[in-house]
């Protein structure tokens, strides 16, 4: 069976959030994701697949798309040390 981002974003995370809301009515739902979980959580929020109260990403490497335009993209890559 193939399993990828689409499964996480469209199936797994919406089900997880639904269960969290049902199990704890009135309590804010905060999704914390590390690495791949941070990417999947960001995609799920951005696509509208999940409705959560907060998203915390740890070591997710999520870079805003505007940083990739023109000379701003240079900021993404470290410069070699001059030691």
Taken in order 39, 40, 43, 46, the sign of the CA dihedral is negative
Give the closest residue to 52 by CA, choosing from 6, 14, 8: 14
Q: What is the chain's alpha carbon radius of gyration, rounded to the nearest angstrom?
A: 17
Global pTM? 0.71
The DSSP 8-state label assigned to residue 80 in this structure reads P
Distance from C-alpha of 22 to C-alpha of 82, rounded to nearest angstrom: 56
Note down pLDDT in tens along the chain; length 83 residues: 788 889 999 999 999 999 999 999 999 999 999 999 999 999 999 999 999 999 999 988 766 666 666 666 666 566 665 54
**Residues 58 and 50 sit within 8 Å (Cβ to Cβ):** no
Residue spans per domain, the chain: 5-63
């Amino acid at each position: 069976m193939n399993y990828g981002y689409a499964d996480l974003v469209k199936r797994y995370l919406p089900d997880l959030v639904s269960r969290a809301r049902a199990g704890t009515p009135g309590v804010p739902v905060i999704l914390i994701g590390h690495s791949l979980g941070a990417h999947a959580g960001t995609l799920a929020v951005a696509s509208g697949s999940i409705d959560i109260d907060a998203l915390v990403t740890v070591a997710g490497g999520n870079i805003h798309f505007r940083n990739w335009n023109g000379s701003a993209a240079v900021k993404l890559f470290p410069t070699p040390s001059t030691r």
